[in-house]
Homo-oligomer: A and B are copies of this chain.
Amino acid sequence: MPEPASPKSARGEQTRAAIVTAALELFRERGYEKTTMRAIADSAGVSLGNAYYYVASKEHLIQAFYDRMQVEHEAQAAIVLADETTFLRRLAGVQEAFFDVAAPYHEFAGKFFKNAAEPASPLSPFSPESEPAREASIAIFRQVVVGSDLKAPAAILIELPELLWLMHMGYVLFWVHDTSDGQRRTRLLVQRGGALVDRLVRLTRLPGVRGVAEDVMGLVRTLKA
């Protein structure tokens, strides 16, 4: 049992980075399944054994891809959030930014997506291992809400970022299945879905609707616990 996982020295860090970079490049070029660990090791200039010294399995290399996407999304989202003030435009802008960032990897994403879908997998967006990335993503949606002109009951505003993140996961699910060119159907969904959410949230000020909205929030809270 080697189990270093996180390198101890600067040199180790460099080697690890070389392996990850080589992997991501090959994944994008030939796809996940057609990229062998031997090819990754070769391309990184290390032995197969050494590659396994740094990455626990081929699947674990996917986490590196997530991390990169998250960082890029944050950067793009920050631009939108600095410019827009209305809830709708902030929401749509942030969501579109994600699919802008993800677009080059659409085919690749479809191939390895199944690894993220397994509940027990550390790659699942709901896993404990994914918590940092998940929290970072939810934080973006929190900014969408708090920096906006949105008016709604406090109980709803508090739960909303997490709900938007969940919706985002749903969009991603749609996206990986979306074979329309440029994934324009996903764009359509994001645009119209955003307008819908905007209307729905504002509707919660109507007495008849508010009760239902509070039930939704109660249910979400219950299931989170």
Contact = CB atoms under 8 A, between A and B. Distances in A.
Say how many copies of this protein the assembly contains: 2
Contacts of A118: 110-111, 113-114, 117
A151 interface: no
A196 B223 contact: no
Contacts of A195: 215
Contacts of A222: 188, 192
Interface string A70-113: 00000000000000000000000000000000000000001101
Interface residues of A, number: 35
Given A193-B219, A199-B215, 19 more contacts: A110-B119, A111-B118, A111-B120, A114-B115, A114-B118, A114-B121, A117-B118, A124-B177, A126-B177, A185-B223, A188-B222, A189-B223, A192-B222, A195-B215, A196-B215, A199-B212, A203-B209, A206-B208, A209-B209
